Amino acid sequence: MFYEALADTAVRCHLCAHTCLIHSGQRGICAVRENQAGTLYSLVYGKIISANVDPIEKKPIFHMLPGSTSLSIATVGCNFRCKHCQNYEISQYPREQKFEVPGRDMTPQDIVDLAVQNGCRSISYTYTEPTIFFEFAFDCARLAYERGMKNIFVSNGYTGPEATRLIAPYLTANNIDLKGNEIFYRDICGARLRPVLDTIALMKELGVWVEVTTLVIPGLNDSDKDLSDIAEFLVSVDPSIPWHVSGFYPTYKLMDRPSTSVESLRRAVEIGRRAGLSYVYVGNVPGEDGENTYCPSCRELLVARVGYRIRENRIAEGHCPKCSALIAGIWS
């Protein structure tokens, strides 16, 4: 899907913002879409490399069906080259042009049946970038939607606008990484900032519930300006977008960076609140008070969390039980 045929059997892929020019016999940046004599093929359709039942809070999605579980699936491949990727074994699977694509063959019906069998209320397309296995995610999402199940993308936000508009009617929520400034995207991810901002705004416009995550990495994206720019952009789109500021731990190609301090995360929370965001959370630091949901009007504790576990959920039909303020999210 989402490509145009060019001269001499070349194609232009429009699935994501890279818009790769791919010559016959070659693959795009994601390494899982191949031009075969002028026709672009997905090499990962139904090739599931990971399938797990996760708490929805692990995505992280905090404002949709707290305490429920989500069947989480992925294929190999990614359209980013993040130096801090925690799932690099599958996202950055060998990049030589002709590697054999691994994975367990599954159909969309298999995926939906597995979710139902495990009592999951949603399916999450996650671990790697779901855009790169879009055709399979789209077929699963439509089938799940017909069964009354919700669908979640956990994404880097590089989905092209045409693909975004196509899947939005079937997509309930999307947690999108907003990683840093333009230099961060160029040097650390091999991408650009603007398409991510555009996707966040478009998803909201199309009625998808959006939450945003920023992994705070010391010395790379943790300045007051970097964090303020992110918070102010989110406020400009919708101040009710939950912002998850998460702690970094050295991994993959960023082993030389220290872990994020709790103080730095608390500073990010304050920056978000001062900017006008209603819901700012601390991630990757279990036990921090920053995991809890509070009423933005009266500060009443609404959802108490420890790690990925819900200790208490006091939201009553989408409202604060104390002051009756509407709490943004999907609660039933």
330 φ, ψ to 5°?
Answer: -120, 105
| Residue ranges with strand state E in 8-128 | 11-13, 21-22, 33-36, 39-42, 47-48, 50-55, 69-74, 104-105, 122-125
User: Given its phi and psi angles, is residue 77 left (phi above 0), alpha (psi -120 to 50 degrees) or beta?
Assistant: left
CB atoms within 10 A of CB 313: 14
**Chain position carrying tokens 């855009």:** 131
Burial class of 19 by CB neighbour count within 10 A (0 to 12, 13 to 18, 19+): middle
CA distance 12 to 25: 14
Sorted by where each starts, the structural domains of the chain and their CATH numbers stand as: 45-297 (3.20.20.70)
Sign of torsion over alpha carbons 289, 290, 292, 297: positive
314/60 Cα distance (integer angstroms)? 19
pLDDT (tens place) for every residue of the chain, 332 residues total: 999 999 999 999 999 999 999 999 999 999 999 999 999 999 999 999 999 999 999 999 999 999 999 999 999 999 999 999 999 999 998 765 577 899 999 999 999 999 999 999 999 999 999 999 999 999 999 999 999 999 999 999 999 999 999 999 999 999 999 999 999 999 999 999 999 999 999 999 999 999 999 999 999 999 999 999 999 999 999 999 999 999 999 999 999 999 999 999 999 999 999 999 999 999 988 777 899 999 999 999 999 999 889 999 999 899 999 999 999 999 98
Buried b (16+ CB within 10 A) or exposed e, 95-132: eeeeeebebeebebeebbebbeeeebbbbbbbbbbbbb
Look at residue 289 in the predicted model and tell me its pLDDT.
80
pLDDT of residue 97: 54
First to last CA, the chain: 33
- Beta-bridged to residue 312, according to DSSP, are 304
At 100 the pLDDT is: 85
Count of other CB atoms within 10 angstroms of residue 57: 24
DSSP 5: E
The single-letter DSSP state of residue 186 is I
Label the pairing between strands 69-74 and 122-125: parallel
Q: What does the alpha-carbon distance between residue 169 and residue 141 come to, in Å, rounded to a whole number? A: 10
Largest Cα span, the chain: 67
**Alpha carbon distance 202, 260 (integer Å):** 31
Please report the pLDDT score of residue 307 as a whole number.
85
**Model-level pTM?**
0.96
pLDDT of residue 332: 87
Q: Is 187 exposed, middle or buried (0-12, 13-18, 19+ CB in 10 A)?
A: exposed
Whether the CA torsion 125, 129, 130, 136 is positive or negative: it is: negative
